[in-house]
Structures are given as structure tokens and as C-alpha cells.
Structure 1
Amino acid sequence: MFEERPDREEVVLAGRSNVGKSTLMRELTGHSKFTTGQKPGVTRSPNHFDWNAEGFMFTDLPGFGFMSGVEEGRREQIKTDVVRYIEGNAEDILAAVLVVDGKSVIDIIDRHSGPDEIPHDVELFHFLWELDVPTVVAVNKMDKVDNRDERLDDLCDRLGLHPPWKQWQNTIAPISAKRGDIESLNEALQTHFHEQKRDDLLKFVT
């Protein structure tokens, strides 16, 4: 499944299961064909939505981490496949969007932090940076978060970015995909497209 990739430059959406990647994909593309649901792990292979004329696509990668009813071996394989996809196509990735759940991301990171464990979200963030892939952390479901600035500052701290979060507006984008509130993500992607001389793609993130 992972091998059947159109020859395009792309923006990839990555993150844990059930953080709203597919809902965000619908908002970014304006198309409703992407499967979403309450059940984690609905997306099992990359979903591409591409524009042939521009040689560009959005790609929704399968969610990783805990998934109810999915055995650990399969979960690890999905994570490995996601990492290999990003690594193998890094030169064609104009930007990566790491989607996290604003309500639970701090608790999840803290629960999986330890001497012998790096939380998946933190690990993937640093992996993308090491590959020199422009990365935006889309902090989803922010409409359900009360202490907004504090939560975003805490996330910066966990990711190794110096708070306050507002100095990282091309990296940290608070959104509510279900409500269609993705302006901060669009603005960050506009900056990354412009820096890579792809102003022809700005129309996709306005």
C-alpha cells in the first residue's frame, strides 16, 4: 500500500490515531471523500489528494500509537511504515503537519516520557526536523481547551521549543478542524510554500 505513491511534491499529515487528521484533510482539500470516524485506526494506508497540474498533493498518513482492537505488532508496523514513508520521500515533502489533540497531548507525552521511552509525538517532531522537513504542529480541538496559552506553552516545552508559543507561529498552529478553524495552519503553510518558491500553491491554503 505504501509503495503506490503518485510522483508529486506533497504536504503530509501525521499523528496519533483519532486526533482529527482526516477531518483536517477534508478542510484542507474541500473534499468529503476522506473517511473519518470514532474508531481509531480507520486510515490504514496513505490517502493522497493530488492536483496533477501543480504536481502537488496532500497526504493523510495512517495514525500511530494505541488503537483499540489493533494488536501491538500491527501498531508498530504502521509506525515503521509512516517513518519509512517520510524518510524515503523527504526531498518531495514541502511541509509536514504533525496533528495532536490539544486536550490530551500534554498528558499523553508526560505518560510516555521516561529514561527509556520517548513519546511518539516528540520523537516524530524531532525526526522531521532532523530530516530538514518544514514542520507545523497542528494543535487540534483547541475549542475544547480553556487554558489555551498555558497549554500551548507547555507543548512547546515538551517539544524542546522555548515558550512562549507565539514566537513559533510557523511551527505551532492552534486549530479546530471540525469547526473549520484552520487559519493559523494555513498561514504557517503559506510561509513554508513561499520560502520554497512555491507561491503557485498558496491558493490551496487560503
Structure 2
Amino acid sequence: MIIKEASFIGSFVKPEQFPEDVVPEIALAGRSNVGKSSLINTLLGRKKLAKTSGTPGKTRTINFYRINQHFFLVDLPGYGYAKVSKKERHSWGKMIENYLAERENLREVVLLVDIRHDPSEDDRIMYEWIRNQGYGHLVVATKADKLSRSRQMQQLRRIKTKLAMPENAAIIPFSSLKKTGMEEVWDLLKTHLEE
């Protein structure tokens, strides 16, 4: 996809704050520190549009990025970070749940997992929710440059098994460093944007 324009619209916590534009939205979900911001920057060809942080649990809002005046990429707060209080984790969970359940423009939810590790219980719950809501259960396995090609293949099979992914479900190894997997992710996203 040719990115002519990409802009950060804002960080929000309540539905009444969300943009009112009637354009498709694609949400990115995943654990804290899985690389959502890096994926956004790589896909959009920008270095610092989405703020990356070495501190897990930093994103505590729902961040909207408008692309080509045509659709939004939506970065959801990372889940599963242990150093955050239970109360705060619960409020993030509610915020994510409200967005996912009620946002009419939402076309797809992409789950990001770290290719180096087995999916967590939180990942399994999120993936199950995505499937139950009828989304295309696309999984992107980030940080692929950290493993050899053969280890990548092993881990992709393990992730698919642990998440109980259907045979035809897409799982894409992705590296923001080497920009691998970028075209495959865009190809799948475009099919949802064109529906």
C-alpha cells in the first residue's frame, strides 16, 4: 500500500472521545512490549509516528492513526503487564472490551505475539474473543529477526497449536528491523479494508 498521509489523531479512553469519522478501523491487540508501535511505524514508513517505549505497560489509552484519509489503525493498550495494579489492569480491560464490542467501524482485530515465546493465557483469551466475534483471526508474530529461519518455523507451528488456530488462519512472521512480513500484513489488511 502506498502511504500518502499518516497522522496521529489522539489518545482516548472513552467511546465519546473516539473519532466520529465513518471509515474502517483495524485494531492491533497484544501484550505489553510485543511491538505494536514498531509495527505501526514500519507499516507506515515512519520512524516516530507511534511512540515506542522500553517500559512495558506505557500505552494506557486507545491511540488512533488516520491513514490516507481512508481508514484508522487503532493501537489498543498492551495487556498482561504484571507491575500494573489489578485495578488499573481491570480498567484497561474494560476500555479494550468496550471498544472491541461496540465500535461499528471495526473491520479487523490483529493479534500480535512475540515469536520467541509461547502465547500467554491473555493471548489465548484475546484470540478466542477475536474468533468468537467473527474476525479473521490474523496473527502477526513480531521480532522474527531474533530467530533463525528454522526456529521461526518451529515457533510459528507452536504458536498456531497453542492458540488452537484453524488450519487456514494466517500467522505472519514480522520484523520491524528487517521489514520482513510487511507486504503480507498489508495484503491481508487490504482485503478487510476493501470489504
TM range (shorter): 0.7 to 0.9
Trace 1:27-42 onto structure 2 (pairs within 5 A): 27-31=42-46, 32-42=48-58
Q: 1:186 maps to which residue?
A: 186
Q: CA deviation at 1:141?
A: 0.5
Choose from 133, 153, 158 the match for 2:157: 153
Instruction: String of CA shifts for 1:9-43, please: whole Å, max 9, x gaps.
Output: 20111111000001111122333232111101121
| Secondary structure in 1 matching 2:112 | strand
| Secondary structure in 2 matching 1:49 | strand
Larger RCO: 1 or 2 (CA < 8 Å, sep 6+) = 2
- What runs of 5+ residues in structure 1 fail to find an aligned partner? 110-118, 197-206
On the 8 A contact 1:35/1:43 being kept in 2, the answer is no
| Cα distance in structure 2, aligned partners of 1:71 and 1:61 | 18
1:65 and 2:80 matched? yes
On the 8 A contact 2:67/2:73 being kept in 1, the answer is no
Q: 2:101 maps to which residue?
A: 87
On the 8 A contact 2:26/2:73 being kept in 1, the answer is yes
| Secondary structure in 2 matching 1:47 | strand
Distance 1:191 1:42, change over 3 A: same
| Cα distance in structure 2, aligned partners of 1:82 and 1:187 | 26
Distance 1:2 1:180, change over 3 A: farther
Q: 1:140 maps to which residue?
A: 142
| Secondary structure in 2 matching 1:77 | helix
On the 8 A contact 1:29/1:49 being kept in 2, the answer is no
Trace 1:102-113 onto structure 2 (pairs within 5 A): 102-104=115-117, 106=118, 108-109=119-120
Trace 1:5-24 onto structure 2 (pairs within 5 A): 5-7=18-20, 8-24=23-39
| Cα distance in structure 2, aligned partners of 1:97 and 1:178 | 20
Structure with the higher helix share, 1 or 2: 1
Divergent runs of 4+, >6 A: none
Distance 1:178 1:84, change over 3 A: farther
On the 8 A contact 1:175/1:184 being kept in 2, the answer is no
- CA-based RMSD: 1.9
TM-score by length of 1: 0.77
| Cα distance in structure 1, aligned partners of 2:177 and 2:59 | 17
Structure with the higher strand share, 1 or 2: 2
1:43 and 2:55 matched? no
Q: CA deviation at 1:162?
A: 5.0
Instruction: String of CA shifts for 1:121-156, please: whole Å, max 9, x gaps.
Output: 111111111111233111000111231111111111
| Secondary structure in 2 matching 1:78 | helix
TM-score by length of 2: 0.81
Q: 1:113 maps to which residue?
A: none
